[in-house]
């Protein structure tokens, strides 16, 4: 089974621009979660989607948004980029939702640099 894939792997943008990142979960997985990883704040949960619905949201401004398609692929968008948005964005997929023992499988991440 193919793992979680994320595209692109690297991105360079300038302040004020917007960016869209893509994540394809493992086949059959219907839940997709997004995390931001920075040296200063560590790994922080952004949001989770299941069946095209956002089920959980972290503490990020509205500039961060996402969506999920009927094939479970997910995109996240960041508008009006700021320097502090430079980070590794990780996507994780899971087979089920709601249970406490879900294992999440992570993709390799998209490295976003904002200049």
Partner 1 sequence: GDSVTQMEGPVTLSEEAFLTINCTYTATGYPSLFWYVQYPGEGLQLLLKATKADDKGSNKGFEATYRKETTSFHLEKGSVQVSDSAVYFCAPGGGNKLTFGTGTQLKVEL
28 is an interface residue for partner 1 by CB under 8 A: no
Which CB sits closer to partner 1, 12 or 43? 43
Interface with partner 1, residue 8, by CB under 8 A: no
Nearest CA to 91 among 55, 58, 42, 47? Answer: 47
Helix (H, G, I), strand (E, B) or coil at 66: strand
Q: How many helices (H) and strands (E) does the chain have?
A: 0, 11
| C-alpha 5, offset from chain centre | 11
Among residues 2, 28, 62, 101, which is the contact residue for partner 1, using CB under 8 A? Answer: 101
CA gap 23, 86 in Å, rounded = 18
92 is an interface residue for partner 1 by CB under 8 A: yes
Q: Is 98 in the site for partner 1 (CB under 8 A)?
A: yes
The residues that touch partner 1, with contacts defined as CB under 8 A, are 4, 31, 33, 35, 42-45, 48, 50, 55-56, 58, 90, 92, 94, 97-109
């Amino acid at each position: 089974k193919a793992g979680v894939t994320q595209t692109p792997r690297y991105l360079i943008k300038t302040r004020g621009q917007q960016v869209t990142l893509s994540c394809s979960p493992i086949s059959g997985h219907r839940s997709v979660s997004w995390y931001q990883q920075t040296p200063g704040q560590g790994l922080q949960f952004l949001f989770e989607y299941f069946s095209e619905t956002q089920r959980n949201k972290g503490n990020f401004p509205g500039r961060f948004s996402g969506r999920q398609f009927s094939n479970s692929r997910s995109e996240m968008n960041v508008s009006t980029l700021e320097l502090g948005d430079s980070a590794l964005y990780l996507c994780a997929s899971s087979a089920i939702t709601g249970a406490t023992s879900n294992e999440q499988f992570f993709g390799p991440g998209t490295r976003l640099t904002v200049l």
